[in-house]
Structure 1
Amino acid sequence: MQCLCKGGLHYDAPSKGDYGICRMGLMVPESVELFVGPSACGRHGALGAIKNGYKDRIFYLYLSQSDIVSGYDDIIGDAVAEVLDTLEKAPKVIVMIFTCLDDLIGTDHEALKEALSDRFPGIVFQSSHMNPIKTDTSEPPAQAIQRDIYRTIATDFKNRGIRPEDIKKDAFVNILGAYEPLPESCELNRIAPLKHVTGYSSFSDFTAMASSRLNLVLTPLGRLAAKDMEKNFHIPYLEVPVSFDPEEISESYKAISQALGMDTVPDFEADRRAAEIAVERTRALVGDLPIIVDSSATYHPFGMAQALLGFGFNVIRVEAEAVIKSDEDHMEWIRANHPEVEFYRPDSCEAVLFDHRLTESLSIGIQAAYMAKSRYIADMFADLQMFGYDGIVSLMRRITEAYQNPRDLKQLINEYGLVI
């Protein structure tokens, strides 16, 4: 496997981005956000809020140099009061987003939240951070904000004197780490009823996620949340990464069934056969068209590439800024069995040369589509609504749609509403 770009300085293409920390924090029902930091730090988030329709739920406390030098704990309470004065209805939760400088200053957030709770009773306060300086630590921002979403429930329970042992468990299973719930067509729904944060419009109903009997972690984003919920709500968790390999999917269902105490694994042979048929039809349609897989589409691009190679597709390149640990075995398999497949880093400083473009290709992911200038773009981002055999069917459908109805890349990027 040949790496086409070196490391060093990073390049951020217009296609780079994610949901953004602020957008993720607002998944909490009946919440608003107070962004605390220098004005330059809030620019991207503010534009994203306008673009994605949540600008009325996010407020900004811009810090001056004197605020940073003298401390800003005391002015946050006044900012909260001002926010509440502008709202017709008081929120149930206020998520405070702090920037990198707060990590360096060392604000006592527990004391801050206690003071705010005393001043504004009935509101849950949660401190979160937009701090890319911690990206390569044990608490990367995207994982930490997912954890903090569910910590609002823990804070609410603490305020109301509810102990973990007081929580009565139900038959539901939580889906963690995914921006969107799984579709009804996914066979996982037939194992157990599922809960997802976006399924709630009220905070009181949202707290029912603390009553579930199992957390399923579908992407790395949910890992810290699962560990935290095990501690706070005594909910066990199981990591079952999204996969497009039928054998890996089968093993995931065995693990899920065992975790739920089921005597047998549900029969999903019909679902598996439907996935195989979808693969056969799609493979016949696209033929030997070069395919590029990138990490904006899936958290395991090497895993997807391995599955597609096994199906007989002509995967020629994998694009990723880094290789997560759970994808390393897939990368090694490709290196050993398909050394002709290229590895490309879209964040490399050499990427701006655009000397590896391949217009007659199909890219799965907008990063790869931008870098290769692909004619065909499979509309897929962050493993959204993907799991199990239904995920394979969905992937094949998106490849088919990309091939039959080419999309405009700029339009796709705008529709995703990504924030760097």
Structure 2
Amino acid sequence: MNEQDAKQKYGAYFITAEELAARLDGKQAMPDELRTDAHLICNTPAAIDFNSPGAQGFGVKRAGLSVPGSIMLLVSPGCCGRNTAALSGSGHYGERFAYLVLDETDIVTGSHLQKIPEAVRAFVASRAERPSVVMICLTCADALLGTDMERVCRKAEAAVGLPVRPCYMYALTRESQHPPMQAVRETIYGLLQPRRKDPRQANLLGFFTPVAADSELFSLLERAGIRKVAELARCQTYGDFEALAAANFNLVLADEAMSAALALEKRIGIPAIRLRRLYATDKIANQYRALAHILGLGAEAIAMENERERAEQATADFCAQYGKKAVIAIGSRLNANPFELALALVRRGLAVR
């Protein structure tokens, strides 16, 4: 059956690998139906343009290593661990990984679970400096086996005398109510232990890279009497990380960190305040006024007219330069709230596809 016959019979686009190779060998363009930049292929959160939680960027593996001094044992079949090599190029992540590769017998019987504590002990012993934490990264193989990883980690912890925590790289749960990037934040912040609170410290929770140093958020918090604004990405040592537990409150900047923040509120008494990701300046101003009210400040103490004026001017300059010719696409990889961003751009008269 050829491409045209398949279209007529199934009512959907279809092309064989042989037909696609012939097109490309003949210098024909990639069919529009296969181009993700030409149209929406599949309207689901992950879509066909699917990226495993551990494949690139701050996936589960890189996120687990955001704790200073941590190392990670990746327990997986070889096929699931291969993309970890891509992390070795920056941040010396490759030096902080070890592998326990599962064979077919392990996957069928779960026999690898007996090997994990010894593998952790050998990994820790191989390090020139004693690590702060050992993260054990699991794949869908253990999700399907129903592994009790908390129990395995307790055994490994007893073997090495260090915190050992699970990181679940379960792509199967990406669209569930407890996706991998939410779970890994809970694991990370679950390491914090109660300590005396500093009324002039606040934490920013949500991201694995630091908030821009020139963000108006810092001057806003300074006006609120906050002298130390801490965040995971700025922690240089494990001591810096432990000091996050002294915060008077957490500002939650990303939805995926909300469950971790609520757990901290319940476990060590750090209240959580949520800030939504907004892009329209009027909405941002309203949210800051609400924050001022929560912090018990008067409106004049948190007025940010100069900052808003600069934002308005930057927006006007962008629209003047691109507004008449640019057609904007908001992609699935964008580090943003796509609906709020689209709304803000449309309200400015820009064309958003």
| TM-score normalised by structure 2 residue count | 0.79
Alignment partner, residue 333 of structure 2: 296
- Give the aligned partner of residue 215 of structure 1: 250
CA 1:184–1:316 in 2, change beyond 3 Å: closer, same or farther? closer
Alpha-carbon offset, residue 79 of structure 1? 0.7
C-alpha contact (below 8 Å) 1:215/1:235 kept by paired residues:
yes
**Would the aligned equivalents of 1:94 and 1:125 in 2 still touch at CA under 8 Å?**
yes
* Counterparts of 2:106 and 2:99, CA distance in 1: 14
Q: Which of 80, 88, 92 is 1:49 aligned to?
A: 88
SS in 1 for 2:191: helix
Distance 1:120 1:170, change over 3 A: farther
Partner of 1:371: none
Aligned to 1:182: 211
Question: Relative to structure 2, which stretch is displaced further, 24-33 or 60-69?
Answer: 60-69
Could you report, residue by residue, the CA deviation over 1:37-95 in whole angstroms, capped at 9, with x for unpaired residues? 11111111232334664100111111112223143222111111221232111101111
| Mapping of residues 367-406 of structure 1, within 5 Å | none
Per the normalisation by structure 1, the TM-score is 0.67
Q: 1:26 to 1:70 in 2, by over 3 A?
A: closer
Inter-partner Cα distance in structure 2 for 1:34 and 1:183:
32
Q: Conserved in 1, the CA contact under 8 Å of 2:253 and 2:276?
A: yes
Partner amino acid for 1:112? V
Alignment partner, residue 120 of structure 2: 80
Unaligned residue ranges in structure 2 (runs of 5+): 1-38
Query: Who wins on radius of gyration, i.e. which is larger?
Result: 2
What residue identity is the alignment partner of 1:307?
Answer: A
Say if 1:316 and 1:115 are closer, same or farther in 2 by CA, change over 3 A: closer
Asked if structure 1 preserves the Cα contact closer than 8 Å seen for 2:138 and 2:169, the reply is yes
- Count of residues in correspondence between the two structures: 302
RMSD, matched Cα: 2.3
Match of 1:226 in 2: 261
* CA distance 1:71–1:59, change in 2 (3 Å): same
Determine if contact 1:243/1:304 at 8 Å carries over to the other structure.
Answer: yes
Paired residue secondary structure (1:72): helix
Aligned partners of 1:67, 1:147: CA distance in 2, in Å? 28
1:280 alignment counterpart: 316
Find the partner of 1:130 among 169, 172, 189: 169
Secondary structure in 2 aligned to 1:43?
helix
Structure 1 CA distance for aligned equivalents of residues 230 and 110 of structure 2: 44
- In the alignment, does 2:152 pair up with 1:112? yes
CA displacement 1:98-147 (0-9 Å, x = unmatched): 111222223333332322222212x1111110001111222100111112
The Cα shift of 1:236 comes to 1.3
SS in 1 for 2:276: coil
What whole-Å deviation, never above 9, does each CA across 1:319-356 have from its counterpart, x for those lacking one? xxxxxxxxxxxxxxxxxxxxxxxxxxxxxxxxxxxxxx
1:268 aligns with 2:304: yes
Counterpart position of 2:31: none
* Aligned partner of 1:32 among 33, 55, 71: 71
Counterpart amino acid of 2:296? G
TM-superposition CA deviations, 1:237-278 (whole Å, max 9, x none): 122122111121112212322332324351100100111111
For residues 133-185 of structure 1, the C-alpha deviation after alignment (integer angstroms, 9 at most, x for no partner) is: 111222100111112111122xxx3xxxxxx4x53244222111112222221
Is residue 190 of structure 2 the alignment partner of residue 151 of structure 1? Answer: yes
Counterparts of 2:267 and 2:164, CA distance in 1: 17
